[in-house]
Chain A
């Protein structure tokens, strides 16, 4: 009897990763890289400026208009 399609796909990936001869070092690099990017850089260094400082889109657009019109005042 044929196995469930999802099980087969899962097994396909598991066997693929197991059989990799050159990929372990790469996977470590990928995981460390993604961790640095999403768990450190994004969280601590790259907050979304407008989402963090303003609650509504109206406030955000008011801020941007304020920035755009007052910065142009010479």
Chain B
């Protein structure tokens, strides 16, 4: 580890986390609110009722504010790739290039063109054409998200590529394997549906405020009705895609899966922790030893973890210790190497790359061919090069190969518990909406309002789990964060960290202020 500037790595990670989390404040509302608006406008076009046009325009205004403030905040992440994460950018270049280029083109043409029609086209284009534009904004925004999520999924489960030792780049050999990897499909569906749930909660929360203030009551009730139905459907889809995502994690990122449940010892018939609190950790016994954290309290559902992971209540789930020490699955007989073995294999892969380059540089074609043959051999790639990233660790530093267990555990459980709360909220809101008793249920309206910050917390917790749970990997098993950074001065990263913190906080304050002003004007108040 002495070869790495940990200050630089920590600040680079902190900066990326800061920008990604700020970016994700704006994105999910864009993803979901467009569909809610499109549904409202569809009702308007079908019924011809002007009330629905006003409702549509009000929510479109809030969408516009969020879109305008959030647009292009994601580009900062691309700046950071080139400056702070140049080793990583080079290593993945071809894989990231295609999806991000498609995203850029799609975002530009679909969103910018149809958003203009959505906002400027009222009374200038036909109702049906306007409605088509609104639906295309919704679809376009979601398709834009597809490509960046495909790129992210590849980092979690690198497939469809071959490493070229001459260029040090991974080259895509199957675009379809990258696009249709189960990790990518689950990640896309789960992420966008989380945006739909967030948007439904947002609409319910804002509309609840109107009902409490006895302002635009009819409009608020109609909004809650649409958002509740949309929220229930989205929540059920969210549960289904979350289940699919967790199963993928169990298969391709077993350490993240064990961390999510703070499962230290593997077992068959593994229970799922429904609620639990971890004890304060004991100090590590030796240097480099991981800190084991037992539960102070937990409520479990028997066999559920095994069932969720492999659709088999008797399946074996490896714990953190099994993954570190190596294990044999008692049911399948398959052996998984220990971290010590993976470190040795990783070092062999790194050394082979070094020897190959030295042989090429010295013009020793015979020796170069010997090393190159390894990179061309699928067996060597699948059994040795696969662990390339482990080679940056040693016996003394292998605790660094573990993610933070408390962060993974709490972020996962917070996300799941809050998702349950939102589903319950949608159902209760729908019931009272159909009974036309919403105005009398003041406690429920307050719950609706306070669910807005909660849904943003749940949404961020999902990404915290996805990204911190996979640590130390920037690309699973191939590249840890510590070898991905550029050799730049840590102080320059610190400066830009604070610049971003100030810029984004200002933008966020501006968004909240403008939105609140617009909400206070009311649904019929002008937009």
* A→B interface (CB under 8 Å): 12-13, 15-17, 19-23, 25-27, 29-30, 33-34, 36-37, 41-42, 45-51, 57, 60-62, 64-65, 67-74
Q: Which of A25, A41, A47, A69 contacts B357 (CB 8 A)?
A: A69
Q: Which of B79, B84, B165 contacts A41 (CB 8 A)?
A: B79
| Also in contact, A48 and B83, with CB within 8 A (given A19-B120, A22-B527, A69-B357) | yes
How far is A23 from B79 in the complex, measured between Cα atoms in Å?
28
Range of interface residues on B (Cβ < 8 Å): 35 or more
Judge if B227 is at the interface, Cβ distance under 8 Å. Answer: no
* B→A interface (CB under 8 Å): 3-4, 61, 64-65, 68-69, 71-72, 75-76, 79-80, 82-84, 86-87, 89-91, 116, 119-121, 124, 165-169, 346-347, 350-351, 353-354, 357, 391-392, 394, 482-483, 486-488, 492, 495-496, 499, 503, 507, 510, 514, 518, 526-527
Contact indicator B120/A16 (Cβ below 8 Å): yes
Contact indicator B119/A16 (Cβ below 8 Å): yes
Q: Which chain B positions have C-beta within 8 A of A64? A: 86-87, 90-91, 168
Q: Which chain B positions have C-beta within 8 A of A16? A: 116, 119-121
Minimum Cβ distance to chain B for residue A51 (Å):
7
Contact indicator A47/B83 (Cβ below 8 Å): yes
How far is A30 from B116 in the complex, measured between Cα atoms in Å?
16
How far is A22 from B526 in the complex, measured between Cα atoms in Å?
9
Q: List 24 A-B contacts (CB under 8 A).
A: A16-B120, A23-B68, A27-B68, A30-B68, A30-B69, A33-B507, A37-B75, A37-B76, A47-B83, A48-B82, A50-B89, A62-B357, A65-B353, A65-B354, A65-B357, A67-B87, A68-B87, A68-B350, A68-B353, A70-B3, A71-B3, A72-B392, A72-B483, A73-B350
Q: Which of B68, B80, B124, B488 contacts A29 (CB 8 A)?
A: B68
Q: Which of A42, A47, A71 contacts B392 (CB 8 A)?
A: A71
- List 5 additional contacts besides A42-B79, A67-B487; criterion CB under 8 Å: A12-B121, A33-B69, A37-B76, A50-B90, A68-B91
Contact indicator B120/A72 (Cβ below 8 Å): no
How far is A67 from B80 in the complex, measured between Cα atoms in Å?
18
How far is A60 from B120 in the complex, measured between Cα atoms in Å?
47
Minimum Cβ distance to chain B for residue A62 (Å):
8
Contact indicator A26/B90 (Cβ below 8 Å): no
How far is A20 from B120 in the complex, measured between Cα atoms in Å?
8
Q: Which chain A positions have C-beta within 8 A of B91? A: 64, 68
Chain A, residue nearest B117 (CB): A12
How far is A25 from B518 in the complex, measured between Cα atoms in Å?
12
How far is A49 from B488 in the complex, measured between Cα atoms in Å?
8
Contact indicator B483/A68 (Cβ below 8 Å): yes
Chain B, residue nearest A69 (CB): B354
Minimum Cβ distance to chain A for residue B199 (Å):
20
How far is A59 from B420 in the complex, measured between Cα atoms in Å?
53
Chain A, residue nearest B496 (CB): A45
How far is A8 from B499 in the complex, measured between Cα atoms in Å?
41
Contact indicator A46/B83 (Cβ below 8 Å): yes
Minimum Cβ distance to chain B for residue A16 (Å):
3
Chain B, residue nearest A60 (CB): B90
Minimum Cβ distance to chain A for residue B26 (Å):
12
Minimum Cβ distance to chain A for residue B522 (Å):
13
Chain B, residue nearest A25 (CB): B514
How far is A60 from B86 in the complex, measured between Cα atoms in Å?
10
Contact indicator A72/B350 (Cβ below 8 Å): yes
How far is A46 from B167 in the complex, measured between Cα atoms in Å?
24
Q: Which chain A positions have C-beta within 8 A of B89? A: 50
Chain A, residue nearest B81 (CB): A48
